[in-house]
Amino acid sequence: MYNEIDLDKIDVTLEPPTEEPARQYYFMAKCREWVRVFEQKNGCFPTASIQTFGCQMNAKDSEKIAGIIKKIGFAVIEEESADFVLYNTCTVRDNANQRVYGRLGLMNSMKKKNPNKKVALCGCMMQEPSVIEKIQKSYSFVDLIFGTHNIYKFAELFFTMYQSERMVIDIWKESDKIVEDLPAERKYPFKSGVNIMYGCNNFCSYCIVPYVRGRERSRNPRDIIREIERLVSEGVVEVMLLGQNVNSYGKNLEEPISFAQLLQEVEQIEGLERIRFMTSHPKDLSDDLIEVMKNSKKICRHLHLPLQAGSTRILKAMNRSYTKEQYLALAHKIRQEIPDISLTTDIIVGFPGETAEDVEETIAVVRKVQYDNAFTFIYSKRTGTPAAAMPNPTSDEEIKANFDRLLKVVQETARSRVGRLKGEVHRVLVEEINEHDASLVTGRLSNNTIVHFKGEPSLIGTLVDVKLTEAHGFYYIGEQVALQ
């Protein structure tokens, strides 16, 4: 197994191998030598802190990087006082970018006090040339920058950084390469994200993701199954299959396979209890998928189905490839086939040209679909996307007012939906000790709703039956039901 590859058996006096992932293990072994010297000199291991912004894809990438860093011998800590700090960035909305610049300001002063400290940046923001220019100009103390396509090369880049006096930059525009079998460090021992595809081909007109994550590439189903089997053997009971549009999974593989077929294969894995996935684009959601979900014992009763807007005119300008009516018909069909499913969504307010009437249409869709939750965002202009060139006559005040009206309805419907299971007994995957009250544990229902109940920390990672005694807006308080 790759996590068990013994770095000490690698001869680092030889030239580095050219094939992957052997090359990366060679550089991990090189770095490990450096760590040993550090340890002898300082009497402790060097520390690393990985700060992650953005979506589940980034969270997964950070776990891959953490796996490599740990393998090298660094202690991974939360605090940004670490010897090595990496920011894994997001650029989907401008506020994500601003937060990174804020943190870099802090790093500048920390580095002045500790010149041996190293600071690195990676992730989606780094795929934008204007960002790289800005960092070179205004944050020249940064030691390493890499992008979304060469994460698998982290060990080599890390080694180069420690050899170099200057900023190391390695950004690839594209990649069709998927490197398997590198170490990964999981945040939770009992659940894990699993990439099934990378990139996006949809080019929604507001969205920067296709530009920073590249073209859609599906992983081979055998590699996915192998990874999940290994995770299960390590104690994982829930997986989240990750892709920007999982419904188009497998279409471009040499031996095409549909997402519904992949799910059926994942379902067969013994010991796996729950399957989740993100994100489903409404335009590609097939009847087969609904059928597979309906008949599955493991696929969770939750579907995240981004609406983005409820006005067909705006949906067209967004290049979403569905109309309001098509979306409503799809939501209706899903609800009919799988009545206990919870639907959640993403909505953008303030897209160029969107009027108060358009937002009323969105609100009407929210009322009709009755989402269990909706993530609402104010449109953020992303340079290089088609929407950035569209005129937007609506004022910021109007957009804010539209946003607030929508949010109110979203919260009302969510509140009325979430409480519907009150009094029933449901299975909960226990995830952690409650943040505010250590006598409680916190877990999730199959439909993703949070439940708090009295319980021991030993329950973490297990599935228990809980009676949902109180409904509180977005969560339940429950009582564990004794095993018969």
Degrees to nearest 5, angle at CA 152 with 246 and 170: 110
Binding mask 241-270 for ligand F3S (x = CB under 6 A): ------------------------------
User: Quick check: 182 binds ligand F3S (CB under 6 A)?
Assistant: no
Residues that bind ligand SAH (CB under 6 A): 92-93, 206-207, 209, 244-245, 279, 281, 306, 308, 346, 348, 377, 379-380, 382
Residue 408 CB partners (closer than 8 Å, separation 6+): none
Q: Name the DSSP class of 144.
A: E
**Sites for ligand SF4 among residues 184-223 (CB under 6 A):** 200, 202-204, 207, 209-210
Here the tokens at position 104 are 């870099």
Which of residues 200 and 307 has its CB atom nearest to ligand F3S in the complex?
200
Strand pairing class (342-349; 47-52)? unpaired
Residue 438 CB partners (closer than 8 Å, separation 6+): none
> How many Cβ atoms sit within 10 Å of the Cβ of residue 18?
7
Strand partners, 433: 441
124 interface partner picked from ligand SAH, ligand SF4, ligand F3S, none, CB below 5 to 8 A per type? ligand F3S
54 interface partner picked from ligand F3S, ligand SAH, ligand SF4, none, CB below 5 to 8 A per type? ligand F3S
Which of residues 192 and 362 has its CB atom nearest to ligand SAH in the complex?
362
Among 167, 209, 365, 421, binds ligand F3S (CB under 6 A): 209
CB of 308 to ligand SF4, least distance (A): 7
Which of residues 62 and 245 has its CB atom nearest to ligand SF4 in the complex?
245
3-state secondary structure 391-437: CCCCCHHHHHHHHHHHHHHHHHHHHHHHHHHCCCEEEEEEEEECCCC
Degrees to nearest 5, angle at CA 421 with 415 and 422: 85
Residues that bind ligand F3S (rule: CB under 6 A) add up to a total of 11
Which of residues 400 and 422 has its CB atom nearest to ligand SAH in the complex?
400
Degrees to nearest 5, angle at CA 409 with 404 and 414: 125
348 interface partner picked from ligand F3S, ligand SF4, ligand SAH, none, CB below 5 to 8 A per type? ligand SAH
Which of residues 92 and 272 has its CB atom nearest to ligand F3S in the complex?
92
**Sites for ligand F3S among residues 82-101 (CB under 6 A):** 90-92
Residue 122 CB partners (closer than 8 Å, separation 6+): 61, 65, 86, 87, 88, 89, 145, 146, 147, 148, 151
User: Quick check: 386 binds ligand SF4 (CB under 6 A)?
Assistant: no
* H and E: helices and strands count for the chain: 13, 19
One-letter amino acid at 452 equals H
User: Quick check: 54 binds ligand F3S (CB under 6 A)?
Assistant: yes
Q: For residue 398, which of 453, 350, 340 has the smallest C-alpha distance?
A: 350
Which residue has its beta carbon closest to ligand F3S?
Answer: 54
Which of residues 27 and 379 has its CB atom nearest to ligand SF4 in the complex?
379
Whole-number Cα distances in Å, 435 to 136, 169, 252, 410, 470: 40, 40, 44, 26, 19
Among 281, 298, 304, 324, binds ligand SF4 (CB under 6 A): 281
User: Quick check: 142 binds ligand F3S (CB under 6 A)?
Assistant: no
CB of 154 to ligand SF4, least distance (A): 24
210 interface partner picked from ligand SAH, ligand SF4, ligand F3S, none, CB below 5 to 8 A per type? ligand SF4
Residue 343 CB partners (closer than 8 Å, separation 6+): 302, 303, 304, 305, 331, 334, 335, 369, 370, 371, 372
380 interface partner picked from ligand SF4, ligand SAH, ligand F3S, none, CB below 5 to 8 A per type? ligand SAH
CB of 159 to ligand SAH, least distance (A): 33
151 interface partner picked from ligand F3S, ligand SF4, ligand SAH, none, CB below 5 to 8 A per type? none
One-letter amino acid at 383 equals T
User: Quick check: 132 binds ligand F3S (CB under 6 A)?
Assistant: no
The residues that touch ligand SF4, with contacts defined as CB under 6 A, are 200, 202-204, 207, 209-210, 244-245, 281
The residues that touch ligand F3S, with contacts defined as CB under 6 A, are 54-55, 57-58, 90-92, 124, 209, 212-213
